[in-house]
Amino acid sequence: MKKEQELKNIVKERYAKIAEQGKAENASSCCGATTPSNKVYNIMMDDYSETQGYAEEADLGLGCGLPTQFAKIKKGDTVIDLGSGAGNDCFVARHETGAEGKVIGIDFTPIMIQKARINAEKLGYNNVEFRTGDIDDMPVSDNVADVIVSNCVLNLVPNKKKVIAEMHRVLKPGGHFSVSDIVLVGALPDALREDAEMYAGCVAGAIQKEDYLQLMLDEGFQNLKIQKEKPIVIPDDILGKYLSEEEVRTFNTGETGIFSITVYAEKKGTTQEKTKLNLSEIQAGSSCTPNSGCCK
């Protein structure tokens, strides 16, 4: 695969184009980056339309979950949205935090920032701001956020460890995050793993589920919990662009799984010992803390 900066440039260039696409086109492809499927309308995204604070003009159909639904945002909180796009998750978060709170969206694609600021102005949200920057080097001071949310973005960053370290840095002691992302169980075929379009499409940049969760524990986060998990099925007409018919059949009947997971964890106020992942203890509805005995 390409070097870190090359991958970032690919994503930035691709998402500048995606910003001008319609929601339907984005939803029927892999995060807007691949050719749309003729068979499936909604590949990754969840429906926001019944969510309070939802702004249709800010929904580009690029998510893979509803992290704000599980984020436990309270009135007056400061919330950071990583990879904020046109601002939809920020506006949902603003509904929860109220006029007395603050919401900061971070994105490294200038046209996305421009769209988000226009949407915020239309909605009259003076306590929602958008900052241009990389989420692995956030333009935010230490210990600022009560809550971090992100929707299908960490998989696009080559250095996920650095992003998670930044999340820990900017959260207040006792703060928490709720992020939706794409992860893998098993190995992707080389043709998918090495393709730049599939990287921008949130698939080739995904890492193994256990590795993803372990990075969060290694950074010192606690009470790790999978809030929601769903399989992602890539339609054959998209897979056929990268794989032969036989390879498509093998992929569909093999052991590789692509999943969207929404993960919650908290920042402790003091330094703690690194914890080893016990995946069976942190599935949806359960939690894992360093001192509870569930992570060994």
The model's pLDDT over 95-125, given as tens digits with 9 standing for 90+, comes to 999 999 999 999 999 999 999 999 999 999 9
Query: What's the mean pLDDT in 66-72?
Result: 96
Please tell me the predicted confidence (pLDDT) of residue 183. Answer: 96
* 57-78 average pLDDT score: 92
CA distances from 133 to 83, 112, 128, 254 (A): 9, 12, 16, 39
Least-confidence region, from 29-33, 156-160, 199-203: 29-33
Residue 179 pairs in a beta bridge with: 150, 263
* % helix, strand, coil for the chain, step of 5: 35, 20, 45
281 DSSP 8-state letter? G
Low-confidence winner among 6-10, 144-148, 245-249 (lowest mean pLDDT): 6-10
- Of residues 148 and 235, more confidently modeled: 148
Going by C-alpha positions, the residue among 183, 174, 203, 181 that lies closest to residue 191 is 203
Distance CA 59, CA 225 (A): 27
Mean pLDDT of the chain: 86
Structural domains present in the chain: 1-25+56-182+208-232+258-274 (3.40.50.150)
Query: Using 50, 70 and 90 to split pLDDT, how confident is the model at 274?
Result: very low
Instruction: Check: CB of residue 64 under 8 Å from CB of residue 152.
Output: yes
Q: Which of 71-85, 198-212, 229-243 has maximum average pLDDT?
A: 71-85
